[in-house]
Amino acid sequence: MPFVEHEAIPWRQNRPGSRIRTIVDLEGGEAPLAGQLALIEQVCEPGVGAPTHWHAFDEVLQVVEGAAEVWIGEQRRRIGPGVSAFIPARVRHGFRNVGHAPLCIQGAFAARELVTHFVGHEEQVVRADRPIPWEQR
């Protein structure tokens, strides 16, 4: 189906102070399926974001409301509404809310399954369709 009502997609908490929803083209209907695209919407409280991670696909992040510090590889920049961050596949990146109000972002992905490789003491893989509790990451 080429049209998806965002409000019909439930939010889920993906870490304390952050909620996210993944929007994909639903199967069925008469129109062709956009099978390799996904959109995320994420809302983060001040100080919260996404720790350093990478994906096997390209990504574009856009700030809708608020202010974020974004890092892509060795580059860091504070961005707000009207700025997009283009992130190549396999490049380590992340962001955090550096404002005093909630940060609202959207991300577009060249993949239907959102697989995230978090970087830390031990690299861990998280799939959007099978999330694991944040404290286990």
In a domain, 17, yes or no: no
In a domain, 49, yes or no: yes
In which band, very low, low, confident or very high, does the pLDDT at 82 lie, cut at 50, 70 and 90?
very high
DSSP secondary structure letters along 22-51:
EE-PPS-SSSPP-TT-EEEEEEE-TT-EEE
In a domain, 132, yes or no: yes
In a domain, 73, yes or no: yes
Residue pLDDT, tens place only, 7-55:
988 998 988 999 998 887 766 555 545 667 888 999 999 999 999 999 9
Cβ-contact 116, 96 below 8 angstroms: no
Say what the pTM is. 0.82
State percent of the chain over pLDDT 90.
53
pLDDT value of residue 66: 98
In a domain, 56, yes or no: yes
In a domain, 15, yes or no: no
In which band, very low, low, confident or very high, does the pLDDT at 121 lie, cut at 50, 70 and 90?
very low
Of the listed ranges 51-55, 93-97, 124-128, the one predicted with least confidence: 124-128
When the pLDDT of each residue in the chain is averaged and rounded to a whole number, the result is: 83
**Distance of alpha carbon 114 from alpha carbon 128, whole angstroms:** 5
Provide the domain limits for residue 55: 34-136
In a domain, 71, yes or no: yes
Q: Is residue 111's pLDDT more than 60?
A: yes
Q: Looking at per-residue confidence, does 73 or 125 come out higher?
A: 73
In a domain, 20, yes or no: no
Mean pLDDT in residue range 111-134: 61
Q: Count of domains in the chain?
A: 1
In which band, very low, low, confident or very high, does the pLDDT at 71 lie, cut at 50, 70 and 90?
very high
* Cα 137 to Cα 15, 108, 118, distances in angstroms: 10, 23, 8
| CATH, residue 81 | 2.60.120.10
75-83: long-range contacts, CB 8 A cutoff, minimum separation 24: none
